[in-house]
Amino acid sequence: MYMCNQVRIRTLIGNVRLPRMSNLARTPPNPKEICRICGADADGVHFRVTSCRACAMFFRRWAMDGSKQVCRRATYNCDVSKDTFQQCRRCRFQKCKDAGMSLSRRKYCQAEKPSVRNHSTPEVPKPQEVHNPLPRGRSENHRVKCNTNVLRHRIAKILNNSFYEPSPYKDSLMKALIDAYNKMVPHLEVANVQLVSEFDVDDCMRFCYEQIERIAVWAMRCEEFTQLPLQDKWKIYRNFWPVFEIIERCSRTMEEFGFDGHPNLYLVTDDKAVDLATVRYISTEMEPEKLATAETYYKQWELTLLRSFVLPAKELNLTTFEVVYLSAYKLWDIDGLESLDNKTYRIAEKLMSRLNQELHNYYRRELRIENYASRLSKMVKLLTEIEGCVRMRRNIEIAIDVFQLFGTDLADSDFFLENET
C-alpha cells in the first residue's frame, strides 16, 4: 500500500531529482572582498559581517567595554576608512553596528542536554510574554494539531500596531530593517547550538509558530507597512512570511557555521542544528513507518533548498545588507496581489524605489563595486529559487496529507494565501 501511495504522491508533486551528496561537498573559495567598515582587504566574516581582523577586534573590544563613546569631531559622521588619520572610535563603532555586527557568544556541541537560556533581556518585544502562551503542537494520528485561531489572533494584534516601535533610523529604510533583523533572535550570554541526529516534529512546529510571530514583528518595524489598512497588511504578510522564513533560517545557518562550514548543516531552531542529509524526524504519537515515508519527500525539498539557495548564497558570500534587501524586496513585491487599496500599491512602488537606491549606494559607496549588475542578477535568481522551494514544499505537504502520511493544521489554515476562500 505504501508503495502505491508513493507512486501517487510522485504524480502529484512531480519527479524531483535528489542532488548527489558529492555535489554538496564544499563551496569554492570566494574572491577577495573588502572590509565593509574601513575598506581594507577583508579576511572573512566576523560577527556576521565581512570585515578585516582589525575592525573585528576593535568591535569586540568596544562592544564588551560597554562605555559611552563621544564623537571626537562632534559631527557623528566621521570618515573611518583605513587611510584616515586618528579614526573616530565612536563613528567607527557605529559603522560596525550599522553594517550588522553583533556580539553573539555561541558554542557548538553534540550533547543532547537542553540549552540554558537567559530571557532576562530579550532584544525583541516577545508577543508570547504579553499574551497567552503559543499554542503547543500535539500529534494525533498523522497530523500535528494546533489552534490556528489563537495564532491568528496573536498575529492580528501585532499587525494592529500593538508592537510597533519607532525606528531610530528615520533616514534609511534599510538601516531600520537591518536593525530589526539583527534583533529578531535574542543574543544570549550562553547558548549551545546542538547538532542533533533526531528532531521531534512537535518541537519543529512550535518553533515555526514562534517564527511566524517574529516575522510579523519584523515587518512592523517598517513604518510604511504599519500605516497600511489591516486587511492589506494581513494579505501582504501571508504572501511574504513563508519566503522570509526560509531566507532567515538559511542566513542564520551561514552566520553561525560560516560560509565555509559543512554545506548540509541547517539551523532548524535557535539552538538546534541538523545534517539535512541524515536527520530523522520522530514523534511518539505517529506511526514510524508513515513518518519515515513522509520524511523521504521532505528530504527532497531540503536537499533542493541546499542546491538552489544555500550553496549559491555561500558562493556569493551574501552580506546581512543583501539578505535584508531580498527580504524587504519580497515584502513589497505586491504587483501580483489583488484587491489591495490603491494607496498600498503606490506606497509599495515608492518603497521599492527607495530600496533599490539604497542598494545602489551600498554597492558603490561601501563595497565599492562599480558594476554590480551580475551580482544583483544572481541575487534576484536566488529569490526566484526560494519562491520555487516554497511552492515545492506546499505541494509535498498537500500530497502527503492526502495520503495520510503527515499533515499539520497550520498547512490547512489561512496563514497561506492560496488557502483563502
Assign residue 88 the CATH number of its domain. Answer: 3.30.50.10
Q: In sequence order, what are the beta bridge partners of 273?
A: 195, 267
pLDDT at residue 9, rounded to an integer: 52
Cβ contacts of 386-392, under 8 Å, gap ≥ 24: 386/243, 386/246, 386/247, 386/308, 386/309, 387/243, 388/308, 389/246, 389/301, 389/304, 389/305, 389/308, 389/309, 390/242, 390/243, 390/246, 392/13, 392/16, 392/300, 392/301, 392/304
Do 193 and 339 reside in the same domain of the chain?
yes
Assign residue 321 the CATH number of its domain. Answer: 1.10.565.10
Residue 302 lies in a domain: yes
Residue 27 lies in a domain: no
Do 280 and 313 reside in the same domain of the chain?
yes
Do 194 and 324 reside in the same domain of the chain?
yes
CA nearest neighbour of 47 among 380, 304, 421, 320: 320
Contacts of 374 (CB under 8 A, 6+ apart): none
CA-to-CA distance for 189 and 187, rounded, in angstroms? 7
Do 361 and 299 reside in the same domain of the chain?
yes
Do 326 and 183 reside in the same domain of the chain?
yes
Between the alpha carbon of residue 62 and those of residues 297, 338, 405, the distances in Å are: 48, 49, 53
CA-to-CA distance for 323 and 394, rounded, in angstroms? 23
Residue 343 lies in a domain: yes
CA-to-CA distance for 54 and 42, rounded, in angstroms? 10
Contacts of 186 (CB under 8 A, 6+ apart): 119, 121, 122, 123, 124
pLDDT at residue 82, rounded to an integer: 82
Residue 12 lies in a domain: no
pLDDT at residue 333, rounded to an integer: 96
> What is this structure's pTM?
0.71
Residue 26 lies in a domain: no
What's the domain count of the chain? 2
CA-to-CA distance for 352 and 178, rounded, in angstroms? 16
Supply 210's cell numbers: 514562534
Q: Cell numbers 513563508 label which residue?
A: 242
pLDDT at residue 219, rounded to an integer: 95
Q: Cell numbers 503606490 label which residue?
A: 346
Give the residue numbers spanning the domain of 88.
36-103
Domain boundary among 103, 130, 149: 103
pLDDT at residue 139, rounded to an integer: 63
Do 240 and 95 reside in the same domain of the chain?
no
Residue 213 lies in a domain: yes
Do 403 and 337 reside in the same domain of the chain?
yes
Residue 50 lies in a domain: yes
A 10 A CB-CB count for 399 gives 20
pLDDT at residue 24, rounded to an integer: 36
Digit-by-digit pLDDT tens for the chain (421 residues) are 445 555 555 555 554 443 333 333 333 334 567 888 998 888 777 787 888 888 888 887 787 766 667 787 777 888 898 877 778 888 898 898 888 887 654 444 443 333 333 333 233 334 444 344 455 556 667 788 778 888 999 999 999 875 567 778 778 999 999 999 988 876 543 356 888 999 988 888 889 999 999 999 999 999 999 999 999 999 999 999 999 999 999 988 888 887 777 788 899 998 899 998 899 998 887 888 998 999 999 999 998 998 999 889 888 888 889 999 999 999 999 999 999 999 999 999 999 999 999 999 999 988 888 899 999 999 999 999 999 999 999 999 999 999 889 888 888 888 987 756 4
CA-to-CA distance for 125 and 129, rounded, in angstroms? 8
Do 272 and 412 reside in the same domain of the chain?
yes
Q: Cell numbers 508513515 label which residue?
A: 290
Contacts of 166 (CB under 8 A, 6+ apart): 223
Task: List, in sequence order, every beta strand (DSSP E) within 105-154.
Answer: 106-109, 138-140, 143-145
Do 314 and 392 reside in the same domain of the chain?
yes
Do 148 and 77 reside in the same domain of the chain?
no
Do 258 and 386 reside in the same domain of the chain?
yes
CA nearest neighbour of 362 among 224, 169, 175, 221: 175
Do 84 and 146 reside in the same domain of the chain?
no
34 secondary structure, DSSP code: B
Complete DSSP assignment for 45-114: EETTEE--HHHHHHHHHHHHH-PPP--TTS-S-----TT-SS--HHHHHHHHHHHT-----EEEE---SP
Residue 13 lies in a domain: no
CA-to-CA distance for 79 and 71, rounded, in angstroms? 11
